[in-house]
Amino acid sequence: MKAVVREVYGSADVLEFVDVDRPVAGEGQVLVRVRAAGVDPGVWHLMTGLPYPVRLVSGLRVPKDRRLGTDVAGEVAAVGRGVTRFAVGDAVFGTCGGAFAEYAVGAEDGFVAKPANLTFEQAAAVPVSACTALRGLRDTGRVRAGQDVLVIGAGGGVGAYAVQLAKVFGARVTGVCGPAKADLVRSLGADAVIDYTRADFADGTRYDLVLDTAGNRTLAHLRRALTPKGTLVIVGGEAEGKLLRGIDRQLRGFALSLFVGQRIRTFVASQPRADLELLREHIEAGALRPVVDRTYPLSATADAVRYLARGHPTGKVVITVQPGRER
């Protein structure tokens, strides 16, 4: 089968489109015929090995696992011993290792039934980014109905879900984005939109919860937008830096929150089955919808990653896969 792999850390130039053996579903595992796979900043971090602490898990000098890709949507091709929730032919979405391939294998609990009202491409845009938004708001941010919530990067992969989920939780939502994404953010349910090229979000309303997905503001700037007892949740570590590339901001924020009334938090993203089931319910109820910026064929995965790295896609970038037809 065809797959995208890399043997060393580096830019998208290290990605190779090659033939590999098809994986086999072991005990408690599901083999998925991949129809689509999402591209998120985590792919870039694992590809480049940055920030350097990533390598403590992925391999210090070279990657332990040459596969890439986490978000996946497709059809069950085989099930391992002990799998009870799925049968061959079921349409599923979720997370696994090596999603940038014609076939991928993962734990049974990494998948749930695909929402009936989504295409495979839309479903592949959900797991990592939507779960990240959910955990940032609900678990780390402790969002409550009636709160004022500010989502920075509201038109991006995580931000687009955060706007919608904050509304599901009953909050009043303000989205921060560029002018090209303002109409989209309003259509996602934002009560107000701030164009960061024309106004400073820290100059007006004070918010109970600020979810920063953009990664390019200082802690002092972000804190100005908070109420005295407000919560700042930092998602990811996208700010520039020689060694830690933004993780230093998270560490400094947590230390600072020990001495001020405001809570400054971050978290490690995960995609538990219960969260995927909850997201599916919201999607099928019409309360949540994925935003797909553009799609690329599996053979052009390197171009998809380059596009992600160049700027700020509107929503998610998705890889489309046609098993048996990739060349």
Residue 175: count of CB within 10 angstroms of its CB: 29
Distance CA(66)–CA(8), nearest Å, equals 8
Give the pLDDT of residue 267: 87
Gyration radius from the chain CA atoms: 19
Minimum mean pLDDT range among 85-94, 107-116, 260-269: 260-269
Residues 269-297 pLDDT 10s: 899 999 999 999 999 999 999 999 999 99
Compute the distance between CA of residue 126 and CA of residue 282 in angstroms, rounded to an integer.
12
SS (H, E, C) 120-183: HHHHHCCHHHHHHHHHHHHHHCCCCCCCEEEEECCCEHHHHHHHHHHHHCCCEEEEEECHHHHH
Q: Which one-letter DSSP state was computed for residue 315?
A: B
Which 8-state DSSP code applies to residue 100? S
Q: How confident is the model at residue 238 (pLDDT cuts 50, 70, 90)?
A: low
Q: CA dihedral defined by 235, 126, 12, 76, rounded to 10 degrees?
A: 140
pLDDT at 322: 83
Residue that is written with structure tokens 């039934």 in the block:
113
What domains appear along the chain, each with residue ranges and CATH number? Answer: 2-126+290-320 (3.90.180.10), 129-265 (3.40.50.720)
Q: Which pLDDT band holds residue 326 (cuts at 50, 70, 90)?
A: low
Cα 166 from Cα 25, distance rounded (Å): 37
User: For residue 232, what are the β-bridge partners?
Assistant: 210, 264
Percentage of the residues of the chain whose pLDDT score is greater than 70 = 93
The residue among 65 and 246 whose pLDDT is bigger is 65
Rounded alpha-carbon distances, angstroms, from residue 248 to 135, 211, 218, 224, 242: 21, 17, 11, 19, 10
User: How far, in Å, CA of 279 to CA of 272, rounded?
Assistant: 11
13-22, 49-58, 138-147, 240-249: the lowest-pLDDT one: 240-249
